Structure 1
Amino acid sequence: MMVHVIPSGLYAIKDETHISVPQASSYPSLSREDMQRLNYLRNPENPSILEVSIDGYISPYAINYYTRVLELATRAQDVKGILMEIKTAGGMVDQLVAFADFLYKYPKPIVTHTSYCCSAGYWIASQTNEIHAEPQSSTEIGSIGTIYIHYDQSGMYEKQGTKVHVFRSEGSTRKAVPNSFEPLDKESADRFQARVNAANVEFKSYVRRGRGMRIKSDAVWNGDTFDSDASVAVGLADRKGTYAQALERVIKLSDK
């Protein structure tokens, strides 16, 4: 059984800071090279495990890309299973509900291997069959929670002696509210809080669906992260395992 790697190509990574830069302009369609690689898998004498690499910031463009790759893999009879290699701090929640449902119902086994799987990345991983945590001290898994950051710079402008004048058309009292130039009003603050609360309810419900009784501690819900040993102990991961061991596992599941 052979392994074919289809890198996402979605992000340019700055090695020094690990900051990811979305390459949004190149999507939503798959490249010709991606199509050729996937079509190559359509060979009855070459049963394969497809690796999907999720590396960097997760955006709606990334979700569209991964969905298309996995949809093609569903129709490729010679793709027996998926090895999902995840290394991400997370990203946007946009389209994660639909993608999580897609993964949860996916007809072929998916095993996740990760050394760094947080927030939106864990939302995705929790919907796969198994999660293998890289057995090293730097492994970090979890960060179940949602956050939104608003910059209120109105005080800074006031100290600088800068006056910002915002002109809105009559009746458009909520146009561009909130913004960083005007003080954050209570209505906007309440909306932000309600949105992050609602997103977190979704996040937790999907993790509970995907992981079920494997979650062994309420500590996973406070937004903390866990190393490889602790992630297995609390149920965020199924076992410690290297890339090779995760590959062996998905091959075994695909042969059932």
Structure 2
Amino acid sequence: MTIHLANPRRLAYGAVADVWTPPPPVDYEAWAVANIVFSERESPTFKGPFNPRNFPFFTEIYRALGPSDPCRIVTIKKSAQCGGTILANVFTLGSQALDPSDFLYCHPTEDNARRWSKIKLKQMLRGTTALADVFPEKSRDGADNILFKERADGRGAILISGANSPASLSQVTMPKQVQDVRAARDPSVKGVVIEADSFGGEVAGVFETADMLAALSRSKPTLAILTDHALSAAYLLASAARSIVIPKSGLAGSIGAIILHADMSGRLEKEGVKVTVLRAGKDKATMNAVEPLSKEKRESVEAQLESVRQDFAARVGQYRSGRFNANQALATEGAEFDGADAVALGLADAVGHANDAFDAFVREMSRA
């Protein structure tokens, strides 16, 4: 009988090393050339291996989508049948191959999302050698279904949703996203309801997304319905709507910013583990878990957080002009407020049940 032994501490350190190892350079176009072969069903016009000469205007867009580019949001205004879906699909699949993470692909409707997943995404995952084994087609644990595809190694997933199904978007923070936003330019869309039920999320992209919602609110009636919480980043997004309805027991606010730092150096020392940090650049990765936080770093991070809070308050004051200003937002000091208090303060416009608010909005839009 053979007994295989493993050192759990060595395995743990190996896993940490894998996570800390920088990913290879991300080049979406080069990855597409090496890996993408379109079937006739996926792309009747461009069947066969991906050819960048068919999409010369996408080269700079792929570069902007890469992590080395400072751009965080790429907005494309285009006509139909110019390859926009192909660009989005390469970004989606290339991200999972080159820089795995959680990924949101939001379609105009859930029906669109389901059709795309069945007709496009499933075929591309199956036909892309680099990803076929990473995304299993059958799973007993729910890692693979029409609207959710998770990597077999757990390092990333693709959440597929419709903009008309906000419940599937609640309490999720996705570092990479594709959003097919058509409501602003679709004349058949008379108004937009934004359902919010989240305790918040990351700063990255939230200000730009809020500005997009504010632009939508300038062109069409919008209503944010809380079911039941809109805190921190979620409140920033909700505040961009023309009006906000909050339930009696709901919560709104938390206008501020927060970062947590865990110092594990003392525990490692007790376990006899000494970590030596070698860095080029005195400020490189100084907020890590194996070193105490220096006074200078703490002050620097606190200054960054205050800057975010100021921007947060300014945006809310701008969006809710005449009802709640930036100084009032700052004065809340990050506190949370329930239904009646939120309305009295100006954070929301009415206390009400989500279904009643939605029905009233639909009736109003039907008369428009």
> Secondary structure of the residue that 2:192 maps to in structure 1?
strand
- What is the 5 A alignment of 1:1-256? 24-28=101-105, 30=107, 34-35=111-112, 50=164, 52-53=166-167, 54-61=169-176, 64-65=177-178, 68-69=179-180, 71-106=181-216, 107-114=219-226, 115-135=228-248, 137=249, 139-168=250-279, 171-215=280-324, 218=328, 221-251=332-362, 252=364, 255-256=367-368
Deviation by residue 1:160-216 (Cα, 9 ceiling, x = unmatched): 332112233xx4333332211112122321221111111101100011111122128
Secondary structure in structure 1 of the residue aligned to 2:297: helix
Letter in 1 for 2:309: N
**2:253–2:335 Cα contact (<8 Å) kept:** yes
> Greater strand share, 1 or 2?
1
Q: Provide the aligned C-alpha RMSD in A.
A: 3.0
Task: Please say which structure displays the higher CA radius of gyration.
Answer: 2
Counterpart in 1 of 2:136?
A: none
Distance 1:184 1:224, change over 3 A: same
Q: CA 1:254–1:50 in 2, change beyond 3 Å: closer, same or farther?
A: farther
The change in CA–CA distance for 1:247 and 1:37 in structure 2 (over 3 A counts) is farther
Normalised TM-score (structure 2):
0.52
Assess if the C-alpha contact under 8 Å between 1:132 and 1:240 holds in 2.
yes
Matched letter for residue 122 of structure 1: Y
Q: Is the 8 A contact 1:81 1:108 kept in 2?
A: yes
Q: Is the 8 A contact 2:192 2:220 kept in 1?
A: yes
- Aligned mates of 1:253, 1:31 — CA distance in 2: 19
Would the alpha carbon gap of residues 223 and 254 (structure 1) be closer, same or farther in structure 2, given more than 3 Å must change? farther
Q: Cα gap change, 1:60/1:26 in structure 2, threshold over 3 Å: closer, same or farther?
A: closer
Structure 2 unaligned segments of length 5 or more: list them: 1-99, 116-162
* Distance change in 2, residues 1:32/1:246 (3 Å): closer
Matches of 1:28 and 1:228, distance apart in 2: 32
Higher relative contact order (CA 8 A, sep 6+): 1
Distance in 2, matches of 1:31 and 1:236, equals 28
Return the alpha-carbon distance in structure 1 between the equivalents of residues 270 and 264 of structure 2: 10
Name the % identity. Answer: 31
Q: Whole-Å Cα distance in 1 between the matches of residues 236 and 322 of structure 2?
A: 16
Unaligned runs of 5+ in 1: 1-22, 39-48
> Counterpart of 1:116 in 2: which secondary structure?
strand
Letter in 2 for 1:145: G
How far residue 121 of structure 1 moved from its aligned partner, in angstroms, is 0.3
Measure the CA separation in 2 of the matches of 1:98 and 1:218: 22
- Conserved in 2, the CA contact under 8 Å of 1:57 and 1:89? no
